[in-house]
Amino acid sequence: MTTHFSFLVGRRRDALVAMTALGLAVQPVSSQAQAGPPPSGAPAGPLPTGGIPLPPGATGGPPPGVPLGPVLTPAQKLVADLPPPGPGALPPRPPLPADSVMPSSDPRDLQGTWVNNLPLQFRSQNDMYGAPAPYTMEGAKIIARRVKSLKDGKPFTNASAICRPPGPQWQRDLNFPFLIVQAKDHIEFLFEEYHGRWIISLDPQGTSLPSQKQYMGRSTGHWDGGTLIVETSDFKQAIWLDVDGTPLSTKGRLIQRIRKVGVDGQVPFLEVVTTIIDPTYYTGPWSIVRTFGWVPHQAVFAEYNCEEQVGDPSVPVDGGLVPEPLD
């Protein structure tokens, strides 16, 4: 039997630059996404570091005498000096069948099956525009400790590795399909891996929210035009946002902006922009973006056996994991 560990899966994609703040659609880069040319009105100039389009005629370099790159805080420098995250990869997937049902044309109908459509990203240490994450020194020490534990061959125990829900950000990122179903007062994301569930209440007064704290937190949402805005907080325990352990404390919040994006008549994809708010580990809010391809032919989930990771008598107990020190 081949043992697999979600925290070691090398399939996280590089950060995709979403031009949400500029009013431009994100264009995924995969056969699954079936992307077309840049959106109408997008600047055609070169791309500087971070991927933000420049006006026509701009060179992309800084003016003479301007230092290259941002001035890092001591915390950001600590993170920048870590060994680089592992390269992501995208597992092969069959093309979308010609007779596949398409997503609803209603921007507020997200229902259907989706999957991460770009290589997974091991560590989210830059925001969606390429700027370094605004770590506090406490947050920088947490991620540095986790990266070192992995490098030393003694990775820390985390929720994903012991079959517990890892929180909505990591749960969505994993290269397993998820199904969205929705009703008038709530939306559910159902995941193949862990048989996970992420419940979003659209009517907190009418839809009962968990009375106790959950690993996936408590999520309430509302529509802003065609974008679903979801706030998630009250986590049962501090969570990892990715494989390497980008941290979120129990007091942290995630603001997720979820929408379907269509590019020049191609198959729409799902865009999720997540803003991380956590004064314990970050000096200010920062945002990352992920996109997900439409895969209706994967709506019937394969059986997922999380016990291949932990508890199966044919694999080492805990797979060599060690408890993380408590701060």
Q: What's the full length of the chain, in residues?
A: 327
Average pLDDT taken over every residue of the chain: 80
pLDDT digits (tens, 9 = 90+) for 99-118: 999 999 999 999 999 999 98
**Mean pLDDT, rounded, for 232-260:** 96
What per-residue confidence (pLDDT) applies to 313? 58
Torsion of CA 128, 131, 133, 136, to 10 degrees: -160
Among the residue ranges 141-155, 207-221, 244-258, the one predicted with the least confidence is 207-221
Of these ranges, 152-166, 204-218, 266-280, 306-320, the one predicted with the greatest mean pLDDT is 266-280
Q: Is the pLDDT of residue 216 over 50?
A: yes
Collapse the DSSP code of 78 into the 3-class scheme (helix H, G, I; strand E, B; otherwise coil) and give the result: helix
Instruction: Please state, in angstroms and rounded to a whole number, the distance separating the CA atoms of residues 159 and 291.
Output: 23
Instruction: Please state, in angstroms and rounded to a whole number, the distance separating the CA atoms of residues 8 and 161.
Output: 9
What per-residue confidence (pLDDT) applies to 312? 56
Instruction: Please state, in angstroms and rounded to a whole number, the distance separating the CA atoms of residues 82 and 65.
Output: 29
What per-residue confidence (pLDDT) applies to 14? 31
Sequence-distant (≥ 6) Cβ neighbours of residue 298 within 8 angstroms: 113, 115, 177
Beta-carbon count within 10 A of 243 CB: 30
What per-residue confidence (pLDDT) applies to 227? 98
Query: Beta strand pairing status for 247-248 and 239-240?
Result: antiparallel
Among the residue ranges 1-5, 87-91, 131-135, the one predicted with the least confidence is 1-5
More confident residue, 183 or 7: 183
Cβ atoms of 17 and 50 within 8 Å: the answer is yes
Q: What is the DSSP letter of 142?
A: H
Range list of β-strands (E), the chain? 112-116, 178-182, 186-191, 197-201, 218-224, 227-233, 239-240, 247-248, 253-261, 269-277, 286-294
For 1, the token pair is 């039997």
**Mean pLDDT, rounded, for 79-98:** 88
Backbone torsions φ then ψ of 141, nearest 5 degrees? -65, -35
More confident residue, 222 or 68: 222
Q: Is the pLDDT of residue 50 over 70?
A: no
Q: Is the pLDDT of residue 174 over 80?
A: yes
What per-residue confidence (pLDDT) applies to 33? 38
Sequence-distant (≥ 6) Cβ neighbours of residue 199 within 8 angstroms: 186, 187, 188, 216, 219
Cβ atoms of 180 and 131 within 8 Å: the answer is no
Collapse the DSSP code of 44 into the 3-class scheme (helix H, G, I; strand E, B; otherwise coil) and give the result: coil
| Reported pTM | 0.76
Instruction: Please state, in angstroms and rounded to a whole number, the distance separating the CA atoms of residues 240 and 168.
Output: 10
